[in-house]
């Protein structure tokens, strides 16, 4: 199948007008029920045809004995029947003219030699009929545009513009879950399973060409020999960032990967070299994948690696300076003009250098002003801002006061409402600077008064994490400038 043709077929996969759930069941603990229920429940608007020879109807929809009995065309077959039945099912899909299939059923190459033979049969049938196939042993797909949540795991993706390719369903759905909590929205998702049909690079190529996708994240264990990763990734990273968590970096990890997906995980050096050549951003942890994607979605790319640090506590400034240096960033020396401007706002004994320690100043207006001044310094490529949780702190102080029963309740409510309003203005102010400042602002701190604020600010718990995210953004920006 050539590239254009494959992309067209993949459109049927992610934008199906109709789908058949082959292996649908009324048994609530089986995937044939859970996946079907999720598809219905999460709002898929196309036609849904449950297929089960023993049932008349399932979850209120008429059931069909086989895909061949469905009177209308079927764009997508989702297969959950037991493994031995899958070749026959795939054959029927071929005869029906179904262009795309997701095989959720497990018990194929991941279980040994017999399973591998069965998988090969299924793959050959799909190929012979020109069916693009996800899996087998996939945990499903997601498509925001189609409102299609064809997933085993009970996770509700947040719609957005990131695509995800996962060579582990558990890790991939974890990305979706974490993204949900952190305000990262997804356009398309695929758990690629054993990759008996479509493989990692096919998805990369397809997501790369999709104008609605602004970045791609992936969990990768291994690539087949002779794949087109180098060529495809090189092209895609020019358009949008690719963030990869590589499983099997160590020998022990590679051995575990061989047993998991049968992937030839290759040596660390091989993949790291491949990523470096293609501008792919390699994340170190699964958490970092999501945080990086979030930062790349919302922030400007830094023009260099010189960081300005804003802190509310000397110790945190020290920790953050260490974290920046250890991540490969540098601390900028502030311009005399910047110091002079900050002098006008801060107590005479402020650090007068970078990190900028606000000392005991609690006003969120001063915080914003200092942030603006720091951003304006020509030597600052990015700001790492700590302790932007004034209102949360105010809330806590008030709570502590409240316990003493000296402050009247109405007064307390008034103070709380005021602090809440100031907090909202503060968050809006920072988000405004992120959107218009042309330089990234990474935040780290304990918490704000609301999860919504945390999400809008992409507040990270640890300065070390923020420094690593920033450093990888710098690396990518440098790659693009080369």
Q: Which residues contact 424 (CB under 8 A, 6 or more apart)?
A: none
Backbone angles phi, psi at 171, to 5 degrees: -65, -40
CB of 53 to a copy of itself, least distance (A): 22
Q: Using the minimum distance from each CB to a copy of itself, give the nearer residue, 154 or 269.
A: 154
Q: Residue 98: which residues within 8 A CB-CB, separation 6 or more?
A: 20, 67, 74, 75, 76, 77, 131
Task: Kindly state the smallest distance separating residue 74's Cβ from a copy of itself, in Å.
Answer: 23
**Nearer Cβ to a copy of itself (3/255):** 255
Distances in Å between the alpha carbon of 443 and those of 143, 382, 387, 459, 477?
A: 31, 11, 8, 5, 20
CB of 223 to a copy of itself, least distance (A): 15
Of 321, 343, 316, the closest CA to residue 332 belongs to 321
Q: Which helix (H) or strand (E) holds 330?
A: strand 330-331
Q: Write phi, then psi, for 356 (nearest 5 degrees).
A: -85, 110
Cβ neighbours of residue 53 closer than 8 Å, sequence gap 6 or more: 65, 66
What is the SS3 assignment for 67?
Answer: helix
- In whole angstroms, the minimum distance from the beta carbon of 29 to a copy of itself comes to 8
CB of 3 or CB of 170, closer to a copy of itself: 170
Say whether the peptide bond before residue 458 is cis (omega within 30 degrees of 0).
Answer: no
Q: How far is the CB of 260 from a copy of itself (least distance, A)?
A: 3
Smallest separation (angstroms) from a copy of itself to the CB of 414: 14
Query: What is the distance between the alpha carbons of residues 292 and 298, in angstroms, rounded to a whole number?
Result: 10
C-alpha 225, offset from chain centre: 27
Cβ proximity to a copy of itself: between 198 and 331 the closer is: 331
For a copy of itself, the closer of residues 204 and 467 by Cβ is 467
Q: How many residues does the chain have?
A: 482
CB of 188 vs a copy of itself, minimal distance in Å? 19
The answer to whether 104 and 39 have CB atoms below 8 angstroms apart is: no
Task: State which residue, 110 or 475, has the beta carbon closest to a copy of itself.
Answer: 110
Provide, rounded to whole angstroms, the least separation between the CB of residue 79 and a copy of itself.
17
Residue with smaller CB distance to a copy of itself, 318 or 366? 318
Please state, in angstroms and as integers, the Cα–Cα distance from residue 106 to each residue in 31, 181, 268, 427, following that order: 11, 29, 29, 47
Q: Please say which residue, 111 or 450, places its beta carbon nearer to a copy of itself.
A: 111
Give the DSSP letter of residue 265: -
- Are 41 and 29 in contact by the 8 Å Cβ rule? The answer is no
What is the spatial distance between Cα 80 and Cα 435, in angstroms, rounded to a whole number?
A: 45
Closer residue to a copy of itself (CB): 96 or 178: 178
- CA nearest neighbour of 400 among 412, 389, 387, 417: 412
Give the nearest distance from C-beta 148 to a copy of itself in angstroms: 16
Are 467 and 291 in contact, with CB atoms under 8 Å apart?
A: no
Q: Which is nearer to a copy of itself, 122 or 155 (CB)?
A: 155
The C-alpha atoms of residue 375 and residue 381 are separated, in whole angstroms, by 8
**Least Å from the CB of residue 459 to a copy of itself:** 15
Q: How far is the CB of 270 from a copy of itself (least distance, A)?
A: 15
**Class of residue 344 by CB neighbours under 10 A (exposed 0-12, middle 13-18, buried 19+):** exposed
Our CB check for a copy of itself shows the closer of 156 and 335 to be: 156
Contact 8, 14 (CB under 8 A): no
Distance CA 237, CA 220 (A): 16
């Amino acid at each position: 199948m050539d590239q254009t043709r494959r992309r067209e077929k993949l459109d049927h996969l992610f934008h199906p007008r109709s789908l058949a759930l082959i292996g649908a069941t009324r048994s609530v603990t089986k995937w044939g029920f859970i996946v079907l229920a999720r598809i219905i429940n999460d709002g898929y608007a196309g036609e849904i045809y449950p297929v089960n020879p023993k049932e008349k109807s399932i979850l209120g929809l008429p059931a069909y004995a086989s895909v061949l009995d469905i009177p209308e065309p079927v764009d997508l077959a989702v297969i959950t029947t037991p493994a031995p039945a899958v070749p026959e099912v795939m054959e029927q899909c071929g005869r029906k003219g179904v262009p795309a299939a997701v095989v959720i059923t497990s018990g194929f190459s991941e279980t040994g030699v017999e399973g591998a033979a069965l998988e090969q049969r299924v793959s050959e049938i799909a190929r012979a009929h020109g069916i693009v196939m996800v899996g087998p042993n996939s945990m499903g797909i997601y498509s925001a545009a189609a409102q299609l949540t064809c997933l085993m795991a009970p996770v509700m993706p947040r719609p957005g513009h990131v695509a995800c390719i996962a060579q582990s369903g558990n890790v991939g759905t974890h990305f979706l879950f974490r993204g949900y909590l952190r305000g990262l929205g997804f356009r398309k998702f695929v758990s690629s399973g054993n990759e008996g049909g479509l493989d990692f690079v096919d998805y990369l190529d397809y997501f790369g060409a999709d104008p609605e996708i602004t970045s791609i994240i992936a969990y990768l264990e291994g690539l087949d020999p002779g794949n087109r990763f180098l060529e495809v990734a090189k092209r895609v990273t020019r358009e949008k960032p690719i963030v990869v968590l590589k499983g099997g970096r160590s020998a022990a990890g590679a051995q575990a990967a061989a047993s998991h997906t049968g992937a030839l995980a290759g040596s660390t050096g091989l993949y790291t070299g491949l990523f470096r050549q293609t501008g792919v951003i390699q994340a170190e942890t699964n958490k970092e994948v999501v945080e990086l994607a979030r930062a790349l979605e919302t922030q400007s790319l830094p023009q260099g690696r010189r960081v300005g640090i804003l802190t509310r506590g000397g110790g945190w400034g020290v920790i953050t300076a260490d974290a920046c240096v250890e991540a490969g960033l540098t601390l900028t020396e502030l311009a005399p003009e910047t110091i002079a401007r900050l002098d006008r706002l801060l107590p005479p004994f402020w650090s007068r250098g970078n990190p900028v320690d606000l000392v005991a100043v609690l006003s969120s207006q001063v915080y914003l002003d200092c942030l603006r001044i720091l951003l304006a310094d020509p030597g600052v490529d990015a700001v790492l801002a700590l302790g932007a949780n004034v209102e949360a702190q105010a809330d806590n102080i008030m709570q502590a006061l409240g316990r003493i029963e000296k402050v009247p309740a109405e007064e307390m409510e008034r103070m709380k409402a005021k602090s809440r309003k100031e907090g909202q203005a503060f968050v809006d102010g920072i988000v405004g600077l992120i959107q218009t400042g042309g330089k990234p602002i990474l935040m780290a701190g304990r918490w704000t008064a609301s999860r919504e604020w945390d999400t809008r600010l992409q507040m990270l718990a640890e300065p070390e994490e923020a420094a690593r995210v920033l450093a990888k953004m710098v690396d990518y920006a440098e790659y693009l400038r080369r």
